[in-house]
Amino acid sequence: GENVEQHPSTLSVQEGDSAVIKCTYSDSASNYFPWYKQELGKRPQLIIDIRSNVGEKKDQRIAVTLNKTAKHFSLHITETQPEDSAVYFCAASPDDKIIFGKGTRLHILP
Amino acid sequence: DTGVSQDPRHKITKRGQNVTFRCDPISEHNRLYWYRQTLGQGPEFLTYFQNEAQLEKSRLLSDRFSAERPKGSFSTLEIQRTEQGDSAMYLCASSLSGKTYEQYFGPGTRLTVT
Q: What is the pLDDT of residues B49-86, one digit of tens each?
A: 999 999 989 988 889 999 999 988 999 999 999 999 99
What are the start-end ranges of the H helices in chain B?
none
Closest partner CB to A89 (pick from B31, B42, B56): B42
Please list every residue in chain B whose beta carbon sits closer than 8 Å to the beta carbon of residue A96. 31, 48, 55-56, 100
CB atoms within 10 A of CB B35: 27
Instruction: Give the whole-angstrom CA distance, residue A102 versus residue A39.
Output: 15
Best CA proximity match to A33, nearest among A25, A41, A45, A21: A25
Instruction: Give the whole-angstrom CA distance, residue A57 versus residue A48.
Output: 8
Please list every residue in chain B whose beta carbon sits closer than 8 Å to the beta carbon of residue A93. 101
Q: Which of B23, B45, B61 to mutate to test the interface with A (most CBs of A within 10 A)?
A: B45
Q: How far is B82 from chain A (nearest CA, A)?
A: 23
Q: Tell me if residue A75 falls in helix, strand or coil.
A: strand
Q: Which own/partner pairs from B47-53 qualify as long-range (CB within 8 Å, at least 24 positions apart)? A: B48/A96, B48/A97, B49/B75, B50/B97
Contact criterion met (CB < 8 Å) for B44 and A102: no
Per-residue burial over B5-33, b = 16 or more CB atoms within 10 Å of its CB, e = otherwise: bbeeeebebeeeeebebebbbbeebbbbb
pLDDT digits (tens, 9 = 90+) for A42-101: 999 999 999 988 899 999 999 999 999 999 999 999 999 999 999 999 999 988 889 999
The pLDDT of residue B99: 54
- Any idea what the Cα angle at residue B24 is, between residues B20 and B27, rounded to 5°? 160
Our CA dihedral for A1, B74, B4, A40, rounded to 10 degrees, sits at -60
